[in-house]
């Protein structure tokens, strides 16, 4: 057993020395797990940025956007993060309130977002509309609007995420609120019988959908592109709802505490460059925040284009989240 202890100690020591044995200045970037994972755009982004920064980019990951903000809050001023990539717009107000982020001083006027970007702290790096994804082989006539989905008692069964634990779950709750306003509670009651369940996160929900437990799953308009490109399957589609779709924007920001402000600024600028943006569609399966000169991959051109974009500001979300969540709970937990 002593041998095992020594082994473990050596391993930890090895990892530590790796972290310190860098001749080039390091840039520490926090992001969520799948961004830096095998299939995520992390590797490409690292290679391309390191090609001309004379630095070493280190990804540090937490599970998801919520964990990222939680970790930043815990670390406070002592955080090692120089840049954070992967914040969620609905958590932006909370993130900003941490007082850890510095203004970006960048030109964010001509982005390919469906909205005009004006925030001076965070820069969007990709986006997608929330949408219900279905298998067109199994569901021939998906609802044409949110109202149709909510109000048709014989409508398809859906699987959603819990808005208390999941970003798309929170997004859909806000979507319902946008369409139904103060009547959202009643709408939830109407929809509830056809909700298979509210899962902890996107992964569980998508897994349930893949296993055939539900006809539709709350995901993104970009999800079908994955099935086309990676699996060569054309039967997965996102349903286009007439009232418009709620927008999901992913954000990046640099910290005030960074010891490498020049490098961090350089990386922030890099985020809106073609080199970064062209890695988003087929790496993160989201729309790039600024269309690269090479254009979008074919599969992305065929995606559903919502007629209207729905969105609350981060401050509205922060102020109303508790009330909206309670309304949702009251309507669905009976």
Q: Which two tokens stand for residue 193?
A: 């019988």
Q: Which two tokens stand for residue 122?
A: 């965070």
Interface residue with other proteins among 44, 121, 136, 165 (CB under 8 A) is: 165
Dist CA 295 CA 60 (whole Å): 30
- Is 6 one of the binding residues for other proteins (CB under 8 A)? no
Nearest residue to 142 (alpha-carbon basis) of 269, 238, 16, 33: 238
Among residues 75 and 243, whose Cβ is nearest to other proteins?
Answer: 75
Instruction: Tell me the per-residue interface mask from 49 to 88 with other proteins, x by CB under 8 A, - otherwise.
Output: ---------xxxxxxx-xx-xxx-xxxx-xxx--------
- Is 309 one of the binding residues for other proteins (CB under 8 A)? no
Interface residue with other proteins among 39, 257, 297, 302 (CB under 8 A) is: 39
Footprint (CB under 8 A) of other proteins, residues 93-132: 94
Dist CA 123 CA 290 (whole Å): 11
- Is 137 one of the binding residues for other proteins (CB under 8 A)? no
Among residues 36 and 108, whose Cβ is nearest to other proteins?
Answer: 36
Sign, Cα dihedral of 186, 190, 192, 193: positive
Q: Which residues pair with 133 in a beta bridge?
A: 217, 238
Footprint (CB under 8 A) of other proteins, residues 233-292: 285
| Alpha helices (H) along 21-128 | 33-36, 42-50, 65-75, 92-97
Q: Identify the DSSP state of 64.
A: S
Among residues 11 and 106, whose Cβ is nearest to other proteins?
Answer: 11
Nearest residue to 247 (alpha-carbon basis) of 191, 288, 306: 306
Least gap, CB of 110 to other proteins (angstroms): 30
Identify the three-state secondary structure at position 131: strand
Please choose, out of 191-199, 243-251, 295-303, 304-312, the segment that lies near other proteins by the rule CB under 8 A. Answer: 191-199
Least gap, CB of 308 to other proteins (angstroms): 27
Interface residue with other proteins among 136, 197, 235, 320 (CB under 8 A) is: 197
């Amino acid at each position: 057993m002593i041998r095992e202890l020594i082994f473990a100690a050596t391993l930890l020591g090895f990892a530590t020395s790796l972290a310190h044995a860098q001749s080039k200045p390091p840039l520490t970037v926090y992001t969520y797990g799948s961004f830096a994972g095998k299939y995520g755009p992390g590797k490409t982004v690292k290679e391309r940025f390191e090609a001309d920064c004379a630095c070493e980019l280190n990804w540090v990951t937490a599970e998801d956007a919520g964990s990222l903000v939680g970790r930043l809050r815990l670390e406070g001023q002592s955080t090692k993060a120089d840049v954070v990539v992967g914040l969620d717009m609905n958590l932006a107000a909370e993130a900003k309130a941490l007082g850890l982020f510095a203004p970006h001083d960048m030109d964010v006027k001509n982005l390919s977002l469906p909205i005009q970007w004006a925030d001076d702290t965070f820069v969007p790096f990709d986006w997608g509309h929330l949408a219900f994804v279905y298998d067109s082989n199994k569901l021939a006539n998906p609802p044409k609007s949110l109202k149709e989905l909510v109000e048709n008692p014989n409508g398809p069964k859906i699987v959603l995420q819990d808005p208390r634990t999941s970003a798309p779950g929170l997004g859909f709750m806000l979507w319902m609120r946008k369409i139904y306003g103060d009547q959202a509670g009643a709408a939830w009651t109407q929809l509830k019988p056809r909700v298979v369940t509210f899962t902890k996160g996107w992964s569980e929900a998508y897994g349930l959908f893949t296993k055939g437990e539900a006809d539709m799953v709350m995901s993104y308009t970009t999800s079908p592109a994955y099935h086309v490109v990676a699996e060569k399957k054309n039967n997965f589609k996102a349903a286009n709802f007439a009232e418009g779709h709620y927008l999901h924007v992913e954000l990046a920001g640099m910290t005030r505490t960074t010891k490498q402000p020049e490098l961090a600024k350089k990386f922030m600028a890099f985020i809106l460059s073609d080199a970064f943006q062209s890695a988003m569609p087929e790496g993160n399966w989201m729309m790039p925040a600024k269309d690269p000169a090479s254009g979008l991959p074919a599969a992305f051109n065929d995606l559903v284009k919502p007629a209207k974009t729905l969105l609350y500001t981060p401050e509205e979300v922060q102020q109303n989240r508790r009330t909206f969540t309670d309304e949702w709970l009251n309507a669905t937990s009976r």
